[in-house]
Amino acid sequence: MSEVKTIREALAERILQCDGGMGSLLQAAGLKAGELPETWNILHPEVITGIHLDYLNAGCDIINTNTFGANGLKFNGITEYDLPEIVGAAFACAKEAVRKAGHGYIALDLGPTGKLLRPMGELAFEDCVAFYADVVRLGVENGADLIFIETMSDLYELKAAVLAAKENSDLPVFATVVFDAKGRLLTGGTACAAAALLEGMGVDALGVNCGLGPVQMKMVVQELLACSSLPVIVNPNAGLPRTEGNRTVYDIGPAEFADAMEELLEEGISVAGGCCGTTPEHMRLLHERIVGRAKGVISKKEMTIVTSYAIAQEITDDPVLIGERINPTGKKMLQQALRERDMDYVLNMALAEQRQGAHILDVNVGLPGIDEEALLVQTVEEIQSIVELPLEIDSSDYAALGAAMRIYNGKPLVNSVNGKKESMDAIFPLVKKYGGVVVALLLDEDGIPDTSDGRLAVARKILDEAAKYGIGQKDILFDCLCMTISSDERAALVTLETIRRIRAELGGKTVIGLSNVSFGLPSRPVINGAFSSMALATGLNAVIMNPGSAPMMQSYYSFRALAGLDRNCADYIRYIESAPKVPDPGGAGAPKVPDPGGASAPKVPDPGGASAPKVPDPRGADPAVQLMNAVEKGLKEQSVRLVKTLLEQQEAMAVINGSMIPALDHAGKAFEKGKMYLPQLLMCADAAKAAFGVIKEQMAGSGVTNMKKDRIILATVKGDIHDIGKNIVRVLLENYSYEVIDLGRDVPPEVIVETVLKEKVRMVGLSALMTTTVASMAETIAQLRAAAPDVKIAVGGAVLTKEYAEEIGADRYCADAMATVNFAQEVFGKSTKSELE
């Protein structure tokens, strides 16, 4: 073994050995519960150095600095020691051990921050990157040989750590993740999703540590070996912990550990070591099994994979559907929603596409005159917070694309690069940095080639250029382009021929967005459906389409059944049974009406829906009364149907004042009297919201100006991240025609104050769930009183009482959502009729 070799060279040549547990040895040496292990770098450096040295003497190649929990969250300047001291001392110990042993690579060890990232938790992605970046820079200053990110159970946090490592050093990066016995991350992701993300971001080796013993790890190790083209690291625990007296002991001894690890070495892992409970003796026996063992050859896996935090979607010969609906081109309502930052509209679209069977959702928010970068980031974050499908980030604005790829949780599909130099120069660096599969449009400076020869030439050019960045063909999805047949009758044939040849000659994967083919023709869905079948039969791997279009979905499911891709034709049968029975002459299929109901996967029986035994039969009754009854009873689908009918007979304002508001008032009163409970009130609110959606669209279509609305700010206070109560209040206020500025959850007092002043808002509603966060509610009120003495403040939440609300200076304690509506009516004056501006 030669010490001059870099760790990358060593990794390429032989099996490397990591060290074993640190924390468990420190506990054995007297580390107390609650004591930060990293302080021992300063307090007991001889112990830390001793452990490192024992591992090096046992034969380990890599020692991890005692910096697992060393980050700005735990060492923040208020603590006794600051971060540079802790990390500096850790390296001093490691270097001393390496000097004494005469060999060893020093890895800067990075563990999880201990905080969950948004939207699950409270830590912002960029803050997380910054915390890791601080430590990485210290590692570089102190002469680390590599960066070892370990024990990660959240892929989003892992992405933040890898980004920090890559942006602040050129050091090799090893990364390992904790899996459960079923091979899932604690946050739900699969081994394959983790590997795809890490490979995409260009780490040097990836694997698994902690959580399990070497025996239980076997399955997940095999899975990683099957999907990773990188060296695989395995650092298990010494089995499971148990208590003996006051001591924690692990149940797998050194010999048993070495036996189990030998099986994993046989499987082809490249880096082996230990985690909790393993000792220098475990490592010594493991070393005996590693010495003299030849390193296996790691094959390149040509899998095209895009991921979300939960799902790894492989693009194979079994084609995938990319939902195209979230794209404002030609969609007035979506344009308006995006301009108004009405994310609920977008979220409903995303959920509808998911329900309709899309595997990946395209997200494009390009509109003239908007800040596309901010909007795309917001849209991607919001969709990812409630939909688990992988996304295709779609923008012609490079900055927007890069910003969205950065915060995306997973390995995205990216739309798109093309053969123009300018495009490749902009896009490939982003793909290299953030990872991703990129859609490559087969066009260049000379336009769209009108032959398959020309398109293949562009494809080859793109492949060559991508290779310069280390981006392989597996991460490129060729868009074979589809021109309209009404202007060139051979256009579709060229597309099909290109698909065939990309598959056959380049071994590449293909995609098309095919609705363009029928432009200018009548009954476009007929042509689209037929072309879809032809393209799929030619070998198309992915199709960008409207999953609400019956002809397209019929084509897709029939193709899969006919091509032997649908076992027992089960998917086809399920589709046919669940699809609408009535042919859809409009073809587009996607409801023109916003479909908030689309979100609810399993439907709650809507007794008014089909046959309504329980609801008084409203046939023959006044349609306005029928609508009122349906809304009040919370029958969403019936309300939507009735409001459409009624709008044919009455003006929108008459419908609002004659049916909607009376229904809401009636339900609100019933709730206050205890005749109706919260779920019923909310079903009514949801029905009203759906009906208002129809009314709003009708008004927009007929050019009626927006209703004049009083505005209210709602926020869950800083530190509190539960927001169902706030959301309930919001829906009710909106139904009462108030405009709600929803600042979300965990909102700092300053942001609330700033928004009140900027938007000149007269009423604020604050929510807090926990005793621990009521203090930040008090702080918010104090700041509001100082900056905006006239603003009226309502508070609510599980732990509040009327007395406490008074004590902290709120104007009103609202025990429930209706109380907030009542208070708003006091503040703004109750208007029983909505007015037009």
Partner 1 sequence: MRTVRIEECCRYMGVRGEGDERTRALAESCLKELEDRATPRYVMRDFPLTVDEAEGLVDLGCFTVHSRDLARNLAGCTKVLLFGATLGEGPDLLIRRYGRVEVSRGLAMQACSAAMIEAYCDELCAGWRSEYASEGYGMRPRFSPGYGDFDLSVQTNICDVLKTGKTIGVTLTDSLLMMPSKSVTAVVGLFRAELSSGCVAGDAAGRCEGCAMERCPFRV
CA dihedral of 307, 310, 311, 312, whole degrees rounded to 10: 50
For 652-686, the DSSP string reads HHHHIIIIIHHHHHHHHHHHHTTSS-HHHHHHHHH
Report the nearest approach of partner 1 to the CB of residue 348 (Å). 6
- DSSP-assigned letters across all residues of 409-431: SS--EEEEEESSHHHHHHHHHHH
Per-residue CA distances from 251 to 32, 53, 190, 274, 277 (Å) = 22, 25, 27, 14, 9
For partner 1, the closer CB: 240 or 506: 240
Residues near 794 by beta carbon (within 8 Å), at least 6 away in sequence: 763, 764, 765, 766, 810, 811, 812, 813, 814, 820, 823, 824
Cβ distance to partner 1 smaller for residue 554 or 773: 773
Least Å distance, CB 122 to partner 1, is 5
Angle of the 155-168 helix axis to the 191-200 helix axis, nearest 10: 20
Q: By the criterion CB under 8 A, which residues form the site for partner 1?
A: 33-34, 112, 114-116, 119-122, 151, 153-154, 178, 180, 184, 186-188, 210-211, 241-243, 245-246, 343-344, 347-348, 351, 385-388, 596-597, 599-605, 607, 614, 634, 674, 677-680, 682-683, 685-686, 719-724, 727-728, 731, 769-773
Smallest gap from residue 237 Cβ to partner 1 (A): 10
Using DSSP, state whether 198 is helix, strand or coil: helix
Cα-Cα-Cα-Cα dihedral sign, residues 655, 658, 659, 664: positive
CA distances from 95 to 26, 82, 101, 274 (A): 19, 20, 10, 21
| Residue placing its CB nearer to partner 1 in the complex, 362 or 686 | 686
Query: Which is nearer to partner 1, 35 or 759 (by Cβ)?
Result: 35
Nearer to partner 1, 185 or 320 (CB): 185
Which CB sits closer to partner 1, 679 or 703? 679
Contact criterion met (CB below 8 Å) for 768 and 774? yes
Closer to partner 1 by Cβ: residue 465 or 606: 606
Provide, rounded to whole angstroms, the least separation between the CB of residue 222 and partner 1: 22
Smaller CB separation from partner 1, 226 or 386:
386
Instruction: Region of 811 please: left (phi>0), alpha (psi -120 to 50) or beta.
Output: alpha
Whichever of 132 and 428 has its CB closer to partner 1, that residue is 132
Output the smallest distance, CB 243 to partner 1, in A: 5
Partners of residue 235 on adjacent β-strands: 209
To partner 1, the closest distance from the beta carbon of 187 in angstroms equals 6
Closer by beta carbon to partner 1, 526 or else 815: 815
Q: In this structure, what token pair is assigned to residue 57?
A: 């003497």
Distance CA 437, CA 307 (A): 10
Nearest-10 Cα torsion for 46, 48, 49, 52:
150
Task: Write down the least CB distance from residue 203 to partner 1, Å.
Answer: 20
Shortest Cβ 794–partner 1 spacing (Å): 18
Reported in sequence order, the residue ranges of 330-475 that DSSP labels E, i.e. its strands, are: 360-363, 391-394, 413-418, 437-441
Choose between 169 and 187: whose C-beta lies nearer to partner 1. Answer: 187
Between 294 and 604, name the residue whose CB sits nearer to partner 1: 604
DSSP code at position 597: G
Tokens 């640190």 map to which residue?
Answer: 22
**In the chain, what are the helix, strand and coil shares in percent, each to the nearest 5?**
50, 15, 40
- Coil, helix or strand for 400? helix
Nearest CB to partner 1, comparing residues 240 and 576: 240
Helix axes of 218-227 and 254-267: crossing angle, nearest 10 degrees: 30
Shortest CB 111 distance to partner 1, Å: 9
Backbone φ, ψ for residue 495 (5° rounding): -60, -45
Nearest approach, Cβ of residue 11 and partner 1 (Å): 26
Question: Residue 202: which region, alpha, beta or left (left: phi > 0; alpha: psi -120 to 50)?
Answer: left
61/686 with CB nearer partner 1: 686
**Which C-beta is closer to partner 1: that of 357 or that of 525?**
357
Structure tokens at 833: 């009729």
402 or 596: CB nearest partner 1 = 596
Minimum CB distance to partner 1, residue 813 (Å): 16
Nearer to partner 1, 222 or 680 (CB): 680
Phi-psi region of 218 (alpha: psi -120 to 50; beta: other; left: phi over 0): alpha
| Residue 743 C-beta: closest distance to partner 1, Å | 15
DSSP string, 204-254: SEEEEESSS-TTTTHHHHHHHHHH-SS-EEEE--SS-EEEETTEEEES--H
Nearest to 589 by CA among 558, 562, 554, 563: 554
**In the bound complex, what is the minimum distance in angstroms from residue 500's beta carbon to partner 1?**
40
From the CB of 569, what's the least distance to partner 1, in Å? 24
Q: How far is the CB of 687 from partner 1 (least distance, A)?
A: 9
Beta-carbon contacts of residue 229 (< 8 Å; ≥ 6 apart): 199, 298, 299, 300, 301
Tell me how far apart the alpha carbons of residues 111 and 209 are, in angstroms, rounded to a whole number: 11
CA distance 228 to 207: 9
Interatomic CA distance for residues 111 and 103, integer angstroms:
24
C-alpha–C-alpha distance, residues 647 and 697, integer Å: 11
CA angle 166, 171, 176 (to 5 degrees): 75
CB of 726 to partner 1, least distance (A): 9
Question: Which tokens is 273 given?
Answer: 């070591």
- Provide the minimum distance between the beta carbon of 76 and partner 1 in the complex, in angstroms, as a whole number: 12
Query: Based on CB atoms, which residue is closest to partner 1, 438 or 721?
Result: 721
Dihedral sign of CA atoms 428, 431, 432, 436 in order: negative
* Closest CB 242 distance from partner 1, rounded Å: 7
Q: Rounded to 10 degrees, what is the CA torsion of 403, 407, 411, 413? A: -40
